[in-house]
A and B are shown apart, each in its own frame.
Chain A
Amino acid sequence: MRRPIFLLPLLLLLLLPLATSCVREDTFDNTPEGNFEALWKIIDEHYCFLDYKAEAIGLDWNEVHTRYRQRISPSMSNVQLQEVLTDMLSELRDGHVNLYTSADVSRYWHWHEDYPRNWTQELRDRYLGTDYKIAAGISYRILEDNIGLIVYESFSSGVGEGNLDDVMYYLRSCDGLIVDVRGNTGGQLTYAERLSQRLTNDRLLVGYSQYKTGRGHGDFSTPKAEYLQPSTGVRWQKSVVVLQNRECYSACNIFLRNARVCPRVTTLGDRSGGGSGMPFSSELPNGWAVRFSASPSFDKDMQQIEFGIEPDIVCSLSASDALKGTDTLIEEARRLLKDYK
C-alpha cells in the first residue's frame, strides 16, 4: 500500500508549536507583598503621567517602591494594607487614581480639598430661585438684568442635542450667558463636548490626546489633534463667561479646555482641578479594584492640563459678598457681560 510520505513532516510541523510557551501574565500571590507588588507594577506599566510627574513634582516611582515596600509585612491586616497602598498611590497626586475595597474607596482629593470652593449651594439656589428650568442635566434661567444663567453640576447627568436646542432658544434674547460649572467633577466626555460645541461657529483645534502603546513610561502614540466641531443645532452667538473652580475635574476640565478656545468665551474663577488622564481599571490578586489615568489629553499648545487650567480672570468668592447673599463670581460675570455688550 502506498503511504503518503509527506504526512510525517506535516505531523512534525503541527507539533512544532508545542515547543512555544503559553501566553500568560506574571502572577502575584494573594498576600500583602503580592498585592503591593501587583499594584506597583500596574501603575508602573499603565499609568500615563510617570514621566510628566517626575518632571513636574519630582516623582520617582522606583524610589516609591523602595520606600513603601518597607511598610509591608506578611501579617498586616487588610485595613493596614489599604492604608499603605493608598499612601503610595497618593504620591501620584491624581484624582483619577482610586483603590476600591469592600470597605472603602481610597482617593486623592487634595486637588480641591486644599483650596476654597468659591461657591455655595445656598448662593447658587438664590440665583436660580425656584422657578428655574431644568433640561436634563442643565438648570437655567434668565436673571433680572437679562443675562442667561446655565448651571451644569455634573457631566454624569446627560444632556441631549434637543435639550441644548431648547435651552439656547429660550435664552436667545439675553445679552450674555453665564455657564456655571463650579463643582462639576466630570462625567461623560460626550456631554462636555456637546455643550462646548454650542459655543463656536467654526471648527477649532482644542487639544491633543494620546495613549500608551507599551509598558515603558515613555511609550505613547503620536499625539492626535482634537477638533471641536460646531453644533448643527442652535449655537450661542453672544458673549459667554464660564465660571470655574478647583472642583472642575476630568470631563469638566476638558470642557474648560474646549471653551477657552472658543471666541467670545471668557473663563472666570479659580484654577480648575485638572484630571486630564482618561482612567482605566485593573485589579489586584485579592480582588481590590484600582483605577488609574491611562491616556493623557493636552491643550491646543500641547501643554499638560493634568494639574488644571488657569482662568482668563482670577476671581474668588469674598466672604463679605457671601454674607450678603451675593455670589462674587456671578456678579463679576454679569458686569463683564454688560461691558462686552
Chain B
Amino acid sequence: MKKGYSFIAKALCLVLLFSPLRGRAEEGMRQTTHATLFGLGRVNHLDTYLSPLEYKGPQATFLHRTDRLLRRNPNILYQTWTQGEFSYAHNPAGNVHDIGGALHYDMGWGRIWKNLLLPNLDVSVSGLAGGTFGFLYNERNGNNPAQARAQLRLSAALGGDYRFRIRRQTLTLRYQLHLPLLGMAFLPRYGQSYYHLFVQGQRDHNLVCTHVADAFSPCQLLTLDIPVRRSVLTVGYLSDIRQLQANGLKQHQYVRSFVVGYTRSLSIVRRKNEK
C-alpha cells in the first residue's frame, strides 16, 4: 500500500514539465498536450427551415484540444476535440435576431510522423468519431421557431506542428484540419413541423446519412504557441465551416474566429520496473 502512495507522489512530482516543445517521447514516458482556447468572431449562418436569409453576428467559442502520445508507441496519437459555441445573429435588415448554441465532441486515434519533410515538422493523420448537439432559435417565427441540431460523424484529421526559434524562444506553429467524411444527422422534412414530428409521431426520413459532398464541413485551426515564463500562451485563428443539404433543406454555418488561450504539455514518467 505504501508503495502505491509513494509511486503516486513521485509521479506527481515528475508531472507538469511546462514546455512548448512536444519533443521526442522517451521510452515509458506519456506525453499529453492540452490546449484550452476561447474565441470571439463572426458567424454567418443559414437554415432554410427557418428563413431563406443568411444571418450574421458575433459568436463566442470555447475549444479544448487534447493530444496524447501513447506510452507504448509514441507514434500513435490519441486526440479529443471539444468545442462549444454560442451566437447571436441578425437578419440582413437587422430587425430580427436568432440565438444559436452547439456542443461538438470528437475523439480518435492517429499516426504521427516526426521531423517529416522538414526538421522540426511533425505531421499527424487521424480518424475521429464525434457528434454535435445544438439548436438555432429564431425569435420571430411561429410554428417553425427553432431547429435542433444533432449529428454523428466520422472524420479525417490532418495536423502539423512546426517548431522554430526566435530570440532564443522556441515557438510552435500548429495547424489542424477536421473534415467529416461520413455521418448521420437529424433533420425534419422540408415542411414538417416539430408538432408533426413529436406530438403526432410522424417519423419520416428524419435521420439522414451525410457524406463529404452534401455536408462539406472543414474545420481548421491555426495556432501559435508562445512561451511566456513557465506557461505557454496560444493565439490563433479558427475557421469552422459546417454545412448540410438534405430533405430539401439547406444549412450552413461559417465561423471565423480569433482564439486565445493556453497550452500545457504534461509528461508522466514511469519507473523502469513499472508495467
Contacts and interface: CB of A to CB of B under 8 A. Distances in A.
Interface of A: 1, 3-4, 7, 10-11, 13-14, 16-17, 20, 22-27, 30, 38, 42, 46, 48, 102, 189-190, 209, 211-215, 219, 221, 224, 226, 278-283, 285-287, 289, 291, 294-295
Given A17-B218, A27-B53, A280-B191, 18 more contacts: A14-B156, A42-B52, A211-B202, A212-B191, A213-B190, A213-B204, A213-B247, A280-B143, A280-B144, A283-B52, A285-B53, A285-B92, A287-B95, A289-B96, A289-B140, A294-B191, A294-B193, A295-B196
A20 B52 contact: no
Nearest to B188: A211
A8 to B, nearest CB: 11
Interface in B153-202: 156, 158, 177, 179, 189-193, 195-196, 199-200, 202
B75 to A, nearest CB: 11
Given A221-B189, A278-B195, A287-B93, A17 B213 contact: yes
Given A14-B177, A23-B244, A224-B202, A283 B51 contact: yes
Interface string B238-275: 00000111011011100000000000000000000000
Interface string B78-100: 00000000000001111110000
Task: From A25, A46, A212, name the one whose CB has the most chain B CB atoms within 10 angstroms.
Answer: A25
Contacts of B96: 283, 287, 289
A221 B190 CA distance: 10
Given A25-B250, A211-B189, A281-B143, A14 B179 contact: yes
Nearest to A102: B95
Contacts of A190: 199
B46 A25 contact: yes
Contacts of B199: 190
Interface residues on B, range: 35 or more
B48 interface: yes
A212 B204 CA distance: 12
Nearest to B216: A17
A7 B142 contact: no
A211 B199 CA distance: 14
Contacts of B125: 7, 10
B107 interface: no
A22 B251 CA distance: 10
A30 B93 contact: yes
A283 B97 CA distance: 12
A157 B125 CA distance: 59
A22 B252 contact: yes
B52 A221 contact: no
Contacts of A215: 190, 248
Contacts of A24: 46, 54, 250, 252
Give the 5 A-B CB pairs with smallest separation, nearest first: A287-B93, A212-B191, A281-B141, A23-B243, A287-B95
10 contacts: A1-B115, A7-B123, A22-B243, A26-B52, A209-B196, A211-B193, A213-B247, A280-B191, A294-B191, A295-B196
Given A4-B113, A10-B125, A281-B143, A214 B248 contact: yes
B43 to A, nearest CB: 15
Contacts of B148: none
B193 A278 contact: yes
Given A23-B250, A25-B52, A226 B91 contact: no
B158 A11 contact: yes
A208 to B, nearest CB: 11
Given A17-B212, A30-B92, A283 B250 contact: no
